[in-house]
Structure 1
């Protein structure tokens, strides 16, 4: 019996924990809560829960989210501004990831140093130097991979910006 209760609780809690936003639908004096957008005859407030903070915003305007990847797969077009924004956000994410890798590298170096100290090994111990070299090589590879992606994205960003500038210049030229 206890197993059934625990499983039921986990199933119910798991399904509600994944929803970070719900909609408060208001019509006359009636209020209905929904995980989907409200019908058109209702006023809509969006309630978001993130990091222990609940915010409610009046969101009568319906949002139609279009996943950029899905748009590309459907051969729909994405505006150049949106594409530039996506590229910029990906470049930012990769730079943040590189910073995170540097933090992880420092942490791993400290672990290796503590291990060397407690094992009473010399700083020039071949095993310690090999472990440091392997760790540095691993993080260097991750950072180089990210940097090559950043370079490619920046090339695309430059190409899009120059194409946009060419279009803007041709529109402003006298006829």
Structure 2
């Protein structure tokens, strides 16, 4: 169980490290985006993204970025508050992804409906019904997978919250 949770957290941290903060490096009329601090001959803007909000800061000071996955692999500690933030952001991302899957499902249903109309088939046509069932099964599996991951992450979050409240 511990290995499963650690694997999920590692995957979660690796995705959030990339998406949390990037640097916009500017030199003359060239703009380059990087996950690491810009070289000294570039001006630097830091772009942070969290929970759907983007903040761009003009910061020419160089910062050392720490990838949470690398920190775990090097046995450095991530604070409980930061871990709770990462869990919240991953659960939010998965919920957004489920909403996106519903939008894709509606789009696919319209596409199947258009094909059925132009091929002059009935709504009771076995091939049409089979394709709708296949599409629904596909999206149901994706949504169920995300929902089970959200439940697992929420359980882990509750466990961390209980540990934090016991320490106080």
Query: SS at 1:36's partner residue?
Result: coil
Please, which runs of 5 or more residues in structure 1 have no aligned partner?
1-18, 25-33, 50-54, 169-175
- Partner of residue 22, structure 1: 25
Shift of 1:64: 2.4
Alignment of 1:11-50 (within 5 A): 21-22=24-25, 36=38, 38=40, 46-47=44-45
Task: Please tell me whether the aligned partners of residues 23 and 37 of structure 1 are also in contact (alpha carbons under 8 angstroms).
Answer: no
With normalisation by structure 1, the TM-score equals 0.67
Tell me the number of residue pairs that the alignment of Structure 1 and Structure 2 aligns: 132
**Post-superposition CA distance 1:97-144 (Å, at most 9, x none):** 111110100000000000111111111111100000000000000011
Q: Which of 1 and 2 has greater Rg?
A: 1
Query: SS at 1:82's partner residue?
Result: helix
Query: SS at 1:47's partner residue?
Result: strand
**Post-superposition CA distance 1:81-104 (Å, at most 9, x none):** 111111111111111111111010
- Partner of residue 99, structure 1: 99
Alignment of 1:53-132 (within 5 A): 57-60=58-61, 62-132=62-132
Shift of 1:56: 5.9
With normalisation by structure 2, the TM-score equals 0.69
In 2, distance between residues paired with 1:160 and 1:148?
18
Report which structure shows greater RCO (CA 8 Å, sep ≥6): 2
Please, which runs of 5 or more residues in structure 2 have no aligned partner?
1-21, 48-55
**Post-superposition CA distance 1:50-76 (Å, at most 9, x none):** xxxxx661454x432211111111111
RMSD across aligned positions (CA): 2.8
